[in-house]
Structure 1
Amino acid sequence: MISLRNKALIVATVLTACLSGCASVSTMDQAAAVEAINGNPPEGQARIYVYRDDVLGAALYKDIYIDGKCLGESAPNTFFYADVEGDKDHFVSTESEFSPNHLFIYTKANEKYYIQQFLKMGVFVGGAALTQVDKATAMRAMQECKLAVPGTCSSAQEVKLPSQQTVE
């Protein structure tokens, strides 16, 4: 029989293995990242940046969606951006442990929006969440991030909003 101390050691070892390591996704060169950060959305559109700058769950990839369409799969110190229709409601989603987490955002035309994806402890594997942040906070973090190549999500399906939720 395994003692309580040994069970705790096994759980700690498994959690450490899950939360350490290093995830990697394809990234673009530094020039593309600088252009993305300094660029503006096309006229009438808004630009949404989603970045992940934490080291918790470094071995975990987490899908990110905008309006249900795959933006990409994040890894530590990566960011994505998407130009979306301005003056409209949108939802950004991230894969989490049991179901996607959504962040609802109203975008104004010709504006930029910044969303941080962060990982949190889960029951079986780390979960993910999203929070909107101000430009200064995002710029400090994104300077250390690489622009990830968009369009690859592990779930390979669109994320749907639960029918009882509406965008306000």
Structure 2
Amino acid sequence: MAGCASGVKHSQMASTIPVVQQGEGRIYFMRSASMFGAAVQSDIRLNGEVVGRSQPGGFFYVDRPQGTYKASTSTETEKTLSFVLDAGETKYVRSSPSLGLMVGRIVLELDTPEKAEKELGGLSYTGKPVAPVAQK
């Protein structure tokens, strides 16, 4: 499928993902592997900083201090999602293509942990390289 994420699957790398540091929470950004809107891919910003890209079949995560956050995408129009992240909490933000006036849009919504974790295992990692976790 053209334009789909092709990194390591979450199920293959889950044990290498570091533990969240004290005072921080984790935000997963994910997108289903669907042909609908596959060509529509947008940077994802968190409080104005580009943290990754919405790619079909892909996921990435960022760890941030507890606080209020605004995630956004932009094609012909900006779509935003605001939420509060608590220390030790994990949020799941789903990006989905939708129809726009001239081009497609990427819409963001919070997903439930139950729904997100079922799908996450089959998605490919598109984020920054993850340092291996030291074995004890």
Cα deviations by residue, 1:1-60 (Å, 9 ceiling, x for unpaired): xxxxxxxxxxxxxxxxxxxx6214563465774146x65311110100010015111122
Q: Which consecutive residues of structure 1, in runs of 5 or more, have no partner in the other structure?
A: 1-20, 151-168
1:126 paired to 2:80: no
Larger RCO: 1 or 2 (CA < 8 Å, sep 6+): 2
1:105 counterpart = 2:48:
no
**Alpha-carbon deviation of 1:98?**
2.0
TM-score w.r.t. structure 1 length?
Answer: 0.67
> 2:55 — aligned with what?
75
Aligned counterpart, 1:6: none
Distance in 2 between residues matched to 1:109 and 1:39, nearest whole Å: 15
Bigger radius of gyration, 1 or 2? 1
- Aligned residue pairs total 128
CA contact (8 A) 1:74 1:148 kept: no
CA–CA separation in structure 2 for the residues paired with 1:98 and 1:139: 31
Residue matched to 1:12: none
- 1:99 Cα offset (Å): 2.5
Partner of 1:50: 29
Contact 1:89/1:105 (CA < 8 Å) preserved in 2? yes
Change (3 A) 1:125 1:54: farther
The 1:82–1:32 alpha-carbon spacing in structure 2 relative to 1, beyond 3 Å, is farther
Identical amino acids, percent of aligned pairs: 24
Task: Give 1:115 shift.
Answer: 0.8
| CA displacement 1:100-127 (0-9 Å, x = unmatched) | 2111111110111111100001122211
Structure with the bigger percentage of strand:
2
Higher helix share: 1
